Amino acid sequence: MSKTQIGGPTAWKDPKMLKRIERRYSAERRFRLLGLGAIAIAVAFLFLLLGSITYRGIGGFTQAELALDIEFSAEILGVTADDLRTQAGKDKLYKADFGRMIRESLMDQFPNVTRRSDVRALIGMVSLGARQQLRNLVLEDPTAIGQRRTIWMLTSDDIDQYIKGNVDVNLPESDRRLKDRDIQWIEALKSSNRIRSDFHIPFLTNGDSREPELAGIWGAMKGSFLTLLVTLIISFPIGIAAALYLEEFAPSNRLTDFIEVNINNLAAVPSIVFGLLGLAVFLNTFGLPRSAPLVGGLTLALMTLPTIIIAARAAIKAVPPSIRDAAMGIGASPMQVVFHHVAPLALPGVMTGTIIGMARALGETAPLLMIGMVAFVSEVPGGFTDASTVLPVQIYIWSDSPERAFIAKVSAAILVLLGFLIAMNGLAVYLRNRFEQRW
């Protein structure tokens, strides 16, 4: 057989060869289409998930409000503007019957409501936090005493759900929390422009509450910040020190191999195991305060350390040996080589790994449940030892609540959490691209 027949033009014109080439090209096209299809399906599910969360979460950032003409009667308040200059007068204001002021304003709007049960239902349209709102207004502006002002107050969660279209009025009245009389009152208020739905700032500034219209995420956000701060302070220096030692100073022996294997294994351990460790060591052994950001940060630091160490070792290993050789060649000591040359060049990769580890810690729930951060905490934490919760746990608590209004709160809190995670991962990408060294 000639050379032309084996590898020349004649061989490529053979029908069997052409058929095999066509099958190969067909297989490549099918594989490419399968890859594009998989990407399209993944993107579709991602948009479906984010779209569903966003659609439900938008309602969590708004709240219905009701305008009432409140008469700040000095007789009902029991104090005057001059009395509020003293602490005794302020203390006396806390005993004032603000509920009576709200009731009289509502009765002016609906004078035909006379039955006691109807009056209670009418007053129930206004949130329980309205009394605190009026008290704060008088404390901030004592000149309101003796005046009649129009005040926008939060409505109850049932009214808010109706305004947002989440109440099916076609259901029998017995199957609805809102009765027909309540709907008539709401429609009457809407016709007089006394009900609106506005951006709900307290959702971002309040702590948790049993009442959906009063519940906010600021306590959980601050708890997450304090917890992550403790995690960063502990895990970052220890992780870098461990990575530098294992890569630059540790001898190659069985003990070092044992440590390296266990670090890799710890990175794959379920997070709830670290929660059990935190419960046994930090709470039961050392007696640290339960549900505190300090304990949460210590627990998450244990979970984050393996991830930081692995990322830091990879970044240190990526530094070319020529950098070390050049530094040693001009007389630098091993410590100077590591801390003056290797560590600064590896720092961008180390920071990227650290931020990714912190982002994982931000989204963790299971280990924090084990140390008691699932408790209901209405107060915003003031320090590292105060009782607190974090955003993922707050989402878990609200998702278990029976009130329908918390559904929107859950989705809104998820959007806030996703915003933090995207920001942290975006920062990691920026640092990697900004300080990446190309050898």
Same domain for 195 and 283?
A: no
Give the pLDDT confidence score for residue 10 in this predicted structure: 55
Neighbours of 224 (CB within 10 A): 27
Residue 42 domain-assigned (yes or no): no
Do 176 and 229 share a domain, yes or no?
no
How many helices (DSSP H) and strands (DSSP E) are in the chain?
A: 21, 3
Residues in Cβ contact with 338 at an 8 Å cutoff, skipping those fewer than 6 apart: 244, 248, 249
User: Do 374 and 244 share a structural domain?
Assistant: yes
Measured distance CA(280)–CA(143) in Å, rounded: 56
Are the C-beta atoms of residues 304 and 227 closer than 8 Å to each other?
Answer: no
**What residue ranges of the chain have pLDDT lower than 50?**
1-4, 6
- Residue 223's identity, in one-letter code, is G
Range of the structural domain that residue 299 is part of: 218-435
In a domain, residue 19? The reply is: no
Domain with residue 366: its CATH number is 1.10.3720.10
Instruction: Please indicate, yes or no, whether residues 234 and 299 belong to a single structural domain of this protein.
Output: yes
Pairs from 372-380 (Cβ < 8 Å, separation ≥ 24): 372/283, 372/290, 372/291, 373/223, 373/291, 373/296, 375/291, 376/208, 376/210, 377/207, 377/208, 377/219, 377/223, 377/291, 378/207, 378/208, 378/209, 378/219, 379/207, 379/219, 380/207, 380/218, 380/219, 380/222
CB atoms within 10 A of CB 193: 8
* pLDDT for res 244: 92
Domain boundary among 199, 227, 253: 199
Mark whether 241 and 386 lie in a shared domain. Answer: yes
Instruction: Go through 375-388 and write b for each residue having 16 or more CB atoms within 10 A of its CB, e for each that does not.
Output: eebeebbeebebbb
Pair (129, 262) in one structural domain: no
Last residue of a domain, one of 199, 232, 256: 199
Are residue 222 and residue 326 in the same domain, yes or no? Answer: yes
Both tokens of residue 63? 């709240």
Indicate whether 41 belongs to any domain. no
Q: Could you tell me the sign of the dihedral formed by the alpha carbons of 282, 286, 290, 294, in that order?
A: negative
On whether residue 421 sits in a domain, the answer given is yes
- What's the token pair of residue 194? 């006394």
**280 and 384 part of one domain:** yes
Contact yes or no for 387/249 (Cβ under 8 A): no
Tokens of 218: 């600021």
Would you say residue 331 lies in a domain? Answer: yes
pLDDT of residue 12: 61
Q: What is the pLDDT of residue 34?
A: 93
In a domain, 207, yes or no: no
Q: How is 296-337 classified by DSSP, letter by letter?
A: HHHHHHHHHHHHHHHHHHHHHHTS-HHHHHHHHHTT--HHHH
DSSP per residue, 10-25: HHHT-HHHHHHHHHHH
Residues 170, 228: one domain?
no
In a domain, 71, yes or no: yes
- pLDDT attached to residue 1: 44
pTM as predicted: 0.84
Query: Across the chain, which distance is largest between two alpha carbons, in Å?
Result: 118
Q: Indicate whether 225 and 121 sit together in one domain.
A: no
First CA to last CA across the chain, in angstroms?
51
Residue 296 structure tokens: 């949460």
pLDDT digits (tens, 9 = 90+) for 204-262: 999 898 888 889 999 999 999 999 999 999 999 999 999 999 998 888 888 888 988 99
**Count: domains in the chain:** 2
DSSP 3-state of 170: coil
Decide if 213 contacts 155 (C-beta within 8 A).
yes
Same domain, 231 and 379: yes
Q: Let me know: does 135 contact 96? Beta carbons within 8 Å.
A: yes
My answer on whether 415 and 283 are in the same domain is: yes
DSSP code of residue 181: H
Q: Which of 140, 166, 199 is the last residue of a domain?
A: 199
Question: How far apart are the C-alpha atoms of 350 and 239, rounded to whole Å?
Answer: 9
In a domain, 37, yes or no: no
